[in-house]
Chain A
Amino acid sequence: NAGVTQTPKFQVLKTGQSMTLQCAQDMNHNSMYWYRQDPGMGLRLIYYSASEGTTDKGEVPNGYNVSRLNKREFSLRLESAAPSQTSVYFCASSAQEGTEAFFGQGTRLTVV
């Protein structure tokens, strides 16, 4: 049982480049999330998808877009990467609101 799988694990981008972070879960969860984690800080919510077919902004959505491709997959896109987007990105899923969220292993992104 893989849980939440993120790809890639590491990525280095040049300023202005674009890329998509992939996330898939095999727990048949309804809700999926993208967080970023900066040094010395907790996780901050970028976007979430309460259920298949819906997406909503979180606390720090600027510079990002998301796609809930199907129930399993939720991708995060950086259209024009900036150094301020250097961070560790975590995808998570939960069965429903008010239940524990399960996290992937993270993607360490560096924008130079």
Chain B
Amino acid sequence: GESVGLHLPTLSVQEGDNSIINCAYSNSASDYFIWYKQESGKGPQFIIDIRSNMDKRQGQRVTVLLNKTVKHLSLQIAATQPGDSAVYFCAENMSSGTYKYIFGTGTRLKVLA
């Protein structure tokens, strides 16, 4: 059974609506950011990334926004589907020899039918 994420903040969204998941990162020197999706019993799966020289990047149904001024990252999912239900993590990387991807605590997304 799933033991990860018992006390995570939860976002409940109606199927078909757009979802916005937020993340505050810690290090102003971080220059690479990733969003991961983690389904129950599985490893994190890459969704989208963005480098610090950009403020927006779009993928298929997903958009990541980066606000370096307030150290904030968001993931927007368009037309949320039941298969989007999972825990979402942001990760930051200071690409200067540290090799550390620092993960946030995650947000659970629940899609309501």
Contact = CB atoms under 8 A, between A and B. Distances in A.
Decide whether A and B are members of one complex: yes
B105 A41 contact: yes
Q: B interface, by DSSP: helix, strand, loop or mixed?
A: loop
Contact of B44 (A43, A48, A59, A97): A43
Nearest to B36: A103
Contact of A104 (B7, B43, B97): B43
A44 interface: yes
Interface residues of A, number: 29
Interface residues of B, number: 32
A97 B103 contact: no
Interface stretch (A12-20, A31-39, A66-74, A77-85): A31-39
Contact of B99 (A88, A97, A102, A104): A97
What are the nearest 9 A-B pairs in CB distance? A42-B103, A103-B43, A98-B95, A40-B7, A43-B103, A100-B46, A103-B44, A98-B32, A39-B6
Interface of A: 4, 31, 33, 35, 37, 39-45, 48, 50, 56, 58-59, 88, 90, 92, 97-98, 100-106
Interface of B: 3-8, 31-32, 34, 36, 41-46, 49, 51, 89, 91, 93, 95, 97-106
